[in-house]
């Protein structure tokens, strides 16, 4: 076998390794790769034989990486990622920026920012493609840390020292409700006041729960959730249809706030944590030309978004502002 064939086989083995770890199943990985399960299994066994240790623990539910497997996965991602960066750099030198960009983030920003940014990028750089993941904050951080993604969008945290912060927006969690709700005209509301009305809650514990527990211990109030869900789509529909108050930053509801359909009312809570949202790159990963292009467009979007967030009046409406995002209109 010549050197070129060995290199191609090594690259295939690394791709197979990454897919098996991603799906936790050799069969599902093979389906995604459009190859036979036996071919994937054979490549994994060949690597294990070469290095003398198991890369995956086989269980009745599938496979999961061993400690050695995690090390090999990091090598696989670094190797294939480095190769792709070189290919992208060569294309860039030829005046043709192309390649894939992997983005993971919290749902509100993914839904609100990415459609606009993808359109902007596609007009100027038709050779750039997108792989986008919608995740809870913890999974978004992990996705960027393991370099499964190039760009992360999630809440600011001083512990994110492995990442380069490219841009951020300042915002805070408030009560989100229909514009005709009795509390919609208020300048601020307390959690106890919100407890006098039905609410919509996530089934997972979320950021304001420590504040809820602390305040309710003093006031004796208690939430009466009409809807409990882990789906942002269901949550949005519940708020739109007046089934309850939700507790979010305004980012994921900007279009409805502009249209006067939804009101955002800041919470009056002394210990309410800051809810800045950051645009991050991994410090350990060299950004390829397409990643830099998309990151720059997202950073510009963050700047425009901050100007519009600054225009939010108390009571949940947007000022008729010179700074609205493209396509925005004052209600």
In a domain? residue 89: no
Q: What whole-number distance in Å separates Cα of residue 304 and Cα of residue 169?
A: 9
- Tell me: the pLDDT tens digits for 14-28? 888 888 988 899 889
In a domain? residue 329: no
Q: What whole-number distance in Å separates Cα of residue 234 and Cα of residue 240?
A: 10
111 and 148 assigned to the same domain: yes
50 and 188 assigned to the same domain: no
Q: What whole-number distance in Å separates Cα of residue 96 and Cα of residue 286?
A: 19
The tally of domains found in the chain comes to 3
Q: Are 278 and 160 in contact (CB under 8 A)?
A: yes
**CA quadruple 23, 28, 34, 37: dihedral positive or negative?**
positive
Q: Are 56 and 41 in contact (CB under 8 A)?
A: no
10 and 76 assigned to the same domain: yes
- Residues in the chain with pLDDT < 50? 1-8, 313-316, 319-331
> Mapping DSSP to helix (H, G, I), strand (E, B) and coil, where does residue 59 land?
strand
Q: Which H/E stretch holds residue 151?
A: strand 151-155
102 and 166 assigned to the same domain: yes
115 and 157 assigned to the same domain: yes
162 and 302 assigned to the same domain: yes
24 and 73 assigned to the same domain: yes
pLDDT of amino acid 285: 62
pLDDT of amino acid 261: 94
pLDDT of amino acid 322: 32
Cα 237 versus chain centre, distance: 21
Q: What whole-number distance in Å separates Cα of residue 79 and Cα of residue 90?
A: 17
157 and 10 assigned to the same domain: no
Straight-line distance from the first to the last Cα atom of the chain, in angstroms, rounded to the nearest whole number: 69
Q: Which residues contact 305 (CB under 8 A, 6 or more apart)?
A: 113, 169, 251, 254, 325
Q: Domain range spanning residue 221?
A: 174-266
118 and 152 assigned to the same domain: yes
139 and 216 assigned to the same domain: no
Cα 269 versus chain centre, distance: 27
pLDDT of amino acid 123: 92
pLDDT of amino acid 211: 73
CATH of the domain at 114: 3.40.190.10
CATH of the domain at 57: 1.10.10.10
162 and 178 assigned to the same domain: no
The whole-model pTM stands at: 0.65
158 and 283 assigned to the same domain: yes
In a domain? residue 92: no
Q: Are 131 and 100 in contact (CB under 8 A)?
A: yes
Q: Which of 266, 287, 321 is the last residue of a domain?
A: 266
In a domain? residue 70: yes
pLDDT of amino acid 189: 92
């Amino acid at each position: 076998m010549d050197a070129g064939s060995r290199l191609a086989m090594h690259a295939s083995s690394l791709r197979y390794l990454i897919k098996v770890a991603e799906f936790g199943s050799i069969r599902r990985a093979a389906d995604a790769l459009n190859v036979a399960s036996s071919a994937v299994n054979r490549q994994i066994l060949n690597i294990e034989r070469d290095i003398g240790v198991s890369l995956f623990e086989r269980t009745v539910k599938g496979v999961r990486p061993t400690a050695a497997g995690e090390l090999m996965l990091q090598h696989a991602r670094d190797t294939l990622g480095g190769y792709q960066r070189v290919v992208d750099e060569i294309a860039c030198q030829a005046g043709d920026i192309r390649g894939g960009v992997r983005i993971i983030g919290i749902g509100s920003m993914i839904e609100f920012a990415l459609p606009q940014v993808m359109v902007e990028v596609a007009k100027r750089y038709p050779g750039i493609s997108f792989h986008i993941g919608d995740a809870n904050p913890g999974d978004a951080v992990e996705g960027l840390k393991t370099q499964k993604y190039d760009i992360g969008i999630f809440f600011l945290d001083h512990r994110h020292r492995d990442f380069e912060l490219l841009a951020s927006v300042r915002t805070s969690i408030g009560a989100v409700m229909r514009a005709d709700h009795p509390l919609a005209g208020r300048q601020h509301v307390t959690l106890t006041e919100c407890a006098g009305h039905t609410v919509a809650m996530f089934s997972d514990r979320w950021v304001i729960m420590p504040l809820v527990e602390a305040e309710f211990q003093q006031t004796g109030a208690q939430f009466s959730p009409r809807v409990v869900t882990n789906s942002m789509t269901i949550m949005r529909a519940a708020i739109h249809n007046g089934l309850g108050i939700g507790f979010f930053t305004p980012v994921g509801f900007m279009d409805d706030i502009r249209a006067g359909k939804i009101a955002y009312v800041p919470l009056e809570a002394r210990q309410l944590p800051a809810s800045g949202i950051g645009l991050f790159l991994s410090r350990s990963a060299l950004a390829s030309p397409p990643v830099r292009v998309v990151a720059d467009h997202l950073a510009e979007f963050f700047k425009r978004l901050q100007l519009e967030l600054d225009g939010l009046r108390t009571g949940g409406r947007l000022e008729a502002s010179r700074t609205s995002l493209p396509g925005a209109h004052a209600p």
